[in-house]
Structure 1
């Protein structure tokens, strides 16, 4: 950023517009996800794994009030009596329907009132001088938070039973012919994480060097067709491939296929946002747990990539030696690069989005499906919690596994080459898939 006053002002105005656009886009998506069903479905709990949609709606408004109205603008609380109701750490998702939540009408009015006030705050607030304000960070953080809850609400829509309420066109067909099965990523150092991405969250920071031995990684995510081969070979019935905890999950819950799949005669069907359809062989497999991904990789004689391997495959440019923001470069994601933003409501067939390939030719690292990695969710060297410990720090440890790359349900504002997601290894309702890797020294 230039040091001249005029140029700084121009940059600040560009940041202001960027923050405004991100907030508006998030709210439009929230409105879509909460207006496409009747109020009775907003207050219902469609799965004990998820909150009622009306909880997410009011939580979005409450977080915006707490961080932008109170912390940034320094104003008095609007609804302090509801803070505890919408504190995700005080109440489990399964218990939230029993709380005295705001009604759908009240939740909409509250979120709209907060947003109207925040638009004025954004217009009047200098975007410098405090860590929360530098580069409009707090506004970007709240836009990302809302988009993350929009993805959560989309998961709830997938779990919901009933008629179709969400539709979208299919993703574009692959434009290229057959691709190599895997790509060799050379060994050596690369820069992992970021210290310069203005809206990067605390767990993405700081940038630091990582030494990664040479490895091979799948050119594309594992497909439904490939996963069916694992199933047909008795993968779910062979204890050899499973971690003990994963095997126990299979036995306890009778798991024998990805979530939302069922067998009908000689074919496999899946349910997708109210539509029942034949499982498409060329799409990335979706709704599998870490244990399922790990078992498939073992069966295939491979393994899940580590988080560092995944990020090196996605960001490292072997010619310049630098780490890019995205596989294709530093430009923000466009529709030609990746399947993001709920545009298609399904993953694209593997081999799609050639413009989004990495320098080494790895495809679809961003968008389509979150990709499980082998790594536990741990802090980077030099990590500092900001602006609160509950975003990342309380989740660090071996209980959670890292997912990378985003999915078709992720908005670009909440998806970067450095963005880290995490979840329990048993989770299957999330939009999760995977790709596999192998060490080059095994050649």
Structure 2
């Protein structure tokens, strides 16, 4: 996912006399010189990673916070220290950066903001801020090593328990923090797929209906419908306020398109200028070649790793288009879509605020990305927990991105 979960600058200063120069736990990456191939250990019992992806979570946000940490450990338990500390691509962070970022974010919101305590390691704030330290440089700077990152996570969690004992649970902040961790584990899984670090990922997102191609369309009537999250449930600021919008009749595919259809497009139409937008064609000229699903993906599998440009061109080749996010949400809420949650689904919509948008709890989550060319994705992926990927959840990314777990569900105007 995008790096939307930046650490805003704290407004509450550390207590007088706090040692700001305190050493980071365990020292910088490499200070312990672990064996490059040493398996990650000390985690205790872990679950099967595939089962952990969508395992049910407790309803209580504090209990869920504990369960999410077990999930994180399960997803990376098979990796070596070298794999966790290596940057597999400038597009992605070293996995150990994400682990320490999760700790820093939890400390900021549940200990510093909710508990009114100084940050555990203020000297690390800039290093683990997604805006201050962009992905391209995260492999070139000193980071906490693996042991230190896990220690940081454990120390922060101990502080959270102390705050909860004193002040209780803030349901909104706890939910935000646990969902933030799950968003980052999906980003970590993208890096693991790029670096071929986890063979168990190769079979995902898996197959859909072997008889379907992803172009079987459903007719939905027009009318007025609600868009956005209802009151009384956890949601992000970009999902609010819920509002009414007029919707023309449209058609939408029952399922996301399959690998078979993607391969037909790649073989027959990928190089045909007619199907591409000007911007997409220019991007294609810079592209190394069609990425799309892995070479060993089966024809019946749901197609994954499509850029927005490729999704748009494929839709045009079929005489169709991408759905708007309003169309997608209306169809999903109506219960007529199959295979939702296999891959993120590109929409035609540019990411922007809804009418009456108000940033909460900080503008860096959504507002700084509005109207800057990001496209909305809906539905979730095999790597996104259903607690995050609700019907109203809005993911977003740049149209050239191929490393994300994204495919497409085609749409069209009413016949």
Tell me if structure 1 keeps the 8 A contact 2:217–2:253. Answer: yes
Instruction: Identify the residue that residue 339 of structure 2 maps to in structure 1.
Output: 364
**Cα distance in structure 1, aligned partners of 2:402 and 2:205:** 23
Instruction: Identify the residue that residue 313 of structure 1 maps to in structure 2.
Output: 331
The structure-2 alpha-carbon separation of the partners of 1:144 and 1:180, relative to structure 1 and needing over 3 Å to count, comes to same
The structure-2 alpha-carbon separation of the partners of 1:37 and 1:173, relative to structure 1 and needing over 3 Å to count, comes to same
- 1:167, CA displacement in angstroms? 8.1
- 1:42, CA displacement in angstroms? 1.3
**Cα distance in structure 2, aligned partners of 1:126 and 1:165:** 39
The structure-2 alpha-carbon separation of the partners of 1:315 and 1:59, relative to structure 1 and needing over 3 Å to count, comes to same
Instruction: Identify the residue that residue 27 of structure 1 maps to in structure 2.
Output: 69
Instruction: Identify the residue that residue 191 of structure 2 maps to in structure 1.
Output: 156
* 1:226-305 to 2 correspondences below 5 Å: 226-233=261-268, 235-258=269-292, 261=294, 269=295, 277=296, 279-305=297-323
The structure-2 alpha-carbon separation of the partners of 1:151 and 1:257, relative to structure 1 and needing over 3 Å to count, comes to closer
- 1:104 correspondence with 2:138: no
**Cα distance in structure 2, aligned partners of 1:80 and 1:108:** 17
**Cα distance in structure 1, aligned partners of 2:190 and 2:404:** 6
Tell me if structure 1 keeps the 8 A contact 2:214–2:256. Answer: no
* 1:109-188 to 2 correspondences below 5 Å: 109-126=151-168, 133=170, 136-161=171-196, 164=199, 181-188=216-223
**Cα distance in structure 1, aligned partners of 2:282 and 2:398:** 15
Post-superposition CA distance 1:106-165 (Å, at most 9, x none): 1100111111221343354345xxxxx3xx000000001000000001001101145737
The structure-2 alpha-carbon separation of the partners of 1:176 and 1:139, relative to structure 1 and needing over 3 Å to count, comes to farther
Instruction: Identify the residue that residue 210 of structure 1 maps to in structure 2.
Output: 245
Post-superposition CA distance 1:378-421 (Å, at most 9, x none): 10011110011100000001410000000000012211110000
- 1:425 correspondence with 2:385: no
Tell me if structure 1 keeps the 8 A contact 2:213–2:257. Answer: no
**Cα distance in structure 2, aligned partners of 1:56 and 1:430:** 16
Instruction: Identify the residue that residue 48 of structure 1 maps to in structure 2.
Output: 90
Give ranges in structure 1 of 5+ residues lacking alignment.
Answer: 1-14, 128-132, 262-268, 270-276, 317-357
- 1:18, CA displacement in angstroms? 1.5
Give ranges in structure 2 of 5+ residues lacking alignment.
Answer: 1-56
Tell me if structure 1 keeps the 8 A contact 2:291–2:402. Answer: no
Q: How many residues are paired up?
A: 359
Could you say what secondary structure the match of 2:159 adopts?
helix
**Cα distance in structure 1, aligned partners of 2:214 and 2:405:** 24
- 1:402 correspondence with 2:376: yes
**Cα distance in structure 2, aligned partners of 1:243 and 1:252:** 14
- 1:378 correspondence with 2:396: no
**Cα distance in structure 1, aligned partners of 2:283 and 2:204:** 35
* 1:410-421 to 2 correspondences below 5 Å: 410-421=384-395
**Cα distance in structure 2, aligned partners of 1:375 and 1:239:** 23
Post-superposition CA distance 1:195-229 (Å, at most 9, x none): 42522011111110011100010011111111222
Post-superposition CA distance 1:219-273 (Å, at most 9, x none): 111111112222232x111011111222122212232341x64xxxxxxx2xxxx
TM-score, normalised via structure 1 length: 0.76
**Cα distance in structure 2, aligned partners of 1:208 and 1:411:** 26
**Cα distance in structure 1, aligned partners of 2:208 and 2:63:** 29
Instruction: Identify the residue that residue 108 of structure 2 maps to in structure 1.
Output: 66
